[in-house]
């Protein structure tokens, strides 16, 4: 039995060449957009102290001392965005005392949800590297001496 279909033009976006394409036009999403979404989603998770390696955090601490400057939402985040899918790599610092496995699961879930809902891309993997542990008595600016004499 042959099936006849009388479907209207597809309203759902089909991804071609990194762009969301519909009959009404196309939308291109830059890698930096996915990077920022992933960074902000990661920072929302309790137990995540910071993103990035030591050098990136030191640079960010210096930047925050400059009036009008803001921290980069994409710090500690790298992404690969394809036609239909994205992969995210994160470098994080966790708070002492939290379960790294639980924080990792929560980060992964939050990043996947955020990126997929905002971009329509399928997130195929979120790789998390825990590069440091923040101890309660550590100062956030430790190791970021700017050479000032006090």
26: which strand partners? 21
The confidence score (pLDDT) of residue 21 equals 75
- Tell me which residue range forms the domain holding 41: 29-134
Residue 125 forms part of a structural domain: yes
Looking at residue 124, its pLDDT comes to: 97
- Spell out, as residue ranges, where the chain has pLDDT lower than 70: 1-19, 54-73, 139-150
Distances in whole angstroms, Cα of residue 22 to Cα of each of 10, 27, 67, 100: 7, 9, 43, 41
Q: Is residue 144 part of a domain?
A: no
**Residue 88 and residue 122 in contact, taking contact as beta carbons nearer than 8 Å:** no
| 150, two tokens | 């006090």
By DSSP bridging, strand 19-22 and strand 25-28 are antiparallel
Residues 6+ apart with CB under 8 A from 60: 52, 71, 72, 75
Give the per-residue pLDDT at 19: 58
Under DSSP, is residue 114 helix (H, G, I), strand (E, B) or coil?
A: helix
The answer to whether position 8 is within a domain reads: no
Residues 6+ apart with CB under 8 A from 3: none
In a domain? residue 16:
no
Please provide the DSSP assignment of 45-84 as one string.
STTEEEES-HHHHHHHHHHHTSTT----TTTTEEEEE-SS
Task: Give me the CATH number covering residue 97.
Answer: 3.30.70.1350
Question: Number of folded domains in the chain?
Answer: 1
**Is the pTM for the entire model greater than 0.85?**
no
Whether 135 contacts 100, CB under 8 Å: no
- pLDDT, residue 29, reads 87
Q: Is residue 141 part of a domain?
A: no
Distance CA 39, CA 52 (A): 10
């Amino acid at each position: 039995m042959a099936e006849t279909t009388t479907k209207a033009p597809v309203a759902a976006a089909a991804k071609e060449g990194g762009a969301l394409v519909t009959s009404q036009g196309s939308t291109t999403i830059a890698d930096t957009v996915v990077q920022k979404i992933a960074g902000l989603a990661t920072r929302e998770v309790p137990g995540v102290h910071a993103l990035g390696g030591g050098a990136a955090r030191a640079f960010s601490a210096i930047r925050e001392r400059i009036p009008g400057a803001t921290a980069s939402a994409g710090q500690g985040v790298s992404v690969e965005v394809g036609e239909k899918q994205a992969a995210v790599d994160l470098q994080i610092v966790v708070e002492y005392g939290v379960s790294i496995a639980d924080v990792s699961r929560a980060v992964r879930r939050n990043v996947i949800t955020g990126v997929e809902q905002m971009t329509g891309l399928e997130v195929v993997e979120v790789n998390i590297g825990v590069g440091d542990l923040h101890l309660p008595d550590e100062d956030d600016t430790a190791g970021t001496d700017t050479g000032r004499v006090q």
